[in-house]
Amino acid sequence: MTYSEYRTQQKQFNSKDGILHYLDKGQGEVIVLLHGVPTSGWLYRHMIETLSKNYRVIVPDMLGFGSSDSPIGYDIYNEESHAVRLLELMDSLTIKNWTHVTHDAGGLWTWELFKKDPNRIHKLVILNTIIYEDGFNPPIRFEPGFLAKTTMWSYRNGITTNMMLKGLFKSGMTENTLNKIDVEGYKKPMREGKTKAMYYFFSQTCNELPDYRLVLSKINIPVVVIWGKNDSFLKWNPQKENVIKDLKIKKENVHLLDAKHFIQEEKPEIITKIILSFLKN
């Protein structure tokens, strides 16, 4: 499937801040697949078909990513605003509860969602997600201002887009096996100007990571962790004890894979199998 074909399957939701595009496939209990930065729902393309055979799968492109709008401004992309828009999307679909799968910065939007409405998510799947400062080692950090904005400009104008993506996936995968069709799904949004949300994340969030320890300690639902153990962006070992304790995760629900950060690209079949097994319990 090409990225253009993927986009033709998406629906749209008119949030107060701009249009969100999302996939809605299958029937039954709901699974939400939430991406991070600088990706989109395209990250889950190898998992959607299998999951949607027995479940209704919602895969949003958050505002500023993928095919969704990228309105002017930066604070509009803060963690709280992302969470509010996701809740609005789910309300528009009359979905009250769901299993939530989150990756990378999607974790921050997820913890904000728990603050806003803690009873919506009834099962949680964590895939190399931002949780604590311990282990948090983003590939890019900028101070707000000219340099960061110039870098984003070079991403969307094609000057350094290929170089950035090549470096990102070289560092974030054990072996970069992505072909041109795969990369197009990550490159096209940037070439369309989707860099404002990235700017906020790399120049604000990465320098002042929110503390969600209190939120996490109040979560009392089944949780499974599926983590690429060789991830250099989000390291498991420095935070594992706190994560397991605060989220009350059973030992059998921690799965460490021989992969790096983008585990949906490296191990989609294994991840899907673990999720389906987790949902049956």
CA-only gyration radius of the chain, Å: 17
- The reported pLDDT for the residue numbered 26 is 98
Between CA 203 and CA 196 the distance in angstroms is: 11
Beta pairing, strands 11-14 & 19-25: antiparallel
Element (H, E) at 184: helix 180-191
What number is the average pLDDT over the span 56-75?
A: 97
Q: For position 279, what pLDDT does the model report? A: 97
Whole-angstrom CA distances from 254 to 107, 188, 215, 228, 250 are 17, 35, 20, 11, 7
Query: Which tokens sit at 70?
Result: 């990228």
What does the block give as tokens for 249?
């995760």
Per-residue model confidence (pLDDT) at position 41: 98
171 phi, psi to nearest 5 deg:
-80, -30
Structure tokens at 19: 């249009």
At 281, is the pLDDT very low, low, confident or very high (cuts 50, 70, 90)? confident
For residue 30, give the DSSP letter.
Answer: E
Residue 40 vs residues 7, 47, 198, 250: alpha-carbon distances, Å:
11, 14, 12, 30
- Among the residue ranges 32-36, 144-148, 224-228, 250-254, the one predicted with the least confidence is 144-148
Walk me through the domains of the chain, giving residue ranges and CATH numbers: 3-140+210-280 (3.40.50.1820)
Tell me phi and psi for residue 100, to 5 degrees: -115, 120
Residue 235 DSSP SS3:
coil
Summarize the confidence of residues 83-111 as an average pLDDT.
98
d(C-alpha 43, C-alpha 63), whole Å: 16
What confidence score (pLDDT) does residue 60 get? Answer: 98
What is d(CA 64, CA 66) in angstroms, rounded to the nearest whole number? 7
Phi-psi region of 128 (alpha: psi -120 to 50; beta: other; left: phi over 0): left
Q: Would you give the DSSP letter of residue 111?
A: H
What is the percent of the chain with per-residue pLDDT over 70, rounded to a whole number? 100
Question: What φ, ψ does residue 210 adopt, rounded to 5°?
Answer: -60, 150
Cα gap 29→69, rounded to integer Å: 28
Q: For the segment 174-228, what is each residue's pLDDT rounded down to a tens digit?
A: 999 999 999 999 999 999 999 999 999 999 999 999 999 999 999 999 999 999 9
Residues 33-60, mean pLDDT to the nearest whole number: 98
Token pair of 255, please? 């799965």
pLDDT at 237 over 90: yes
Pairing of strands 56-61, 19-25: antiparallel
* pLDDT tens digits along 115-124: 999 999 999 9
> How far is it, in rounded angstroms, from Cα 33 to Cα 125?
9
Question: Residue 171's pLDDT band (boundaries 50, 70, 90)?
Answer: very high
Give the mean model confidence (pLDDT) for residues 30-49: 98
pLDDT at position 183: 97
What's residue 209's pLDDT?
A: 95
Query: Model pTM?
Result: 0.97
Average pLDDT (48-52) is 98
Confidence of residue 62 (pLDDT cuts 50, 70, 90): very high
Q: Where are the beta strands (DSSP E) in the chain?
A: 11-14, 19-25, 30-34, 56-61, 98-104, 121-129, 223-228, 254-257
Q: How far apart are CA 186 and CA 181, in angstroms?
A: 10
**Average model confidence (pLDDT) across the chain:** 97
**What pLDDT shows up at residue 167?**
94
Distance CA 163, CA 190 (A): 13
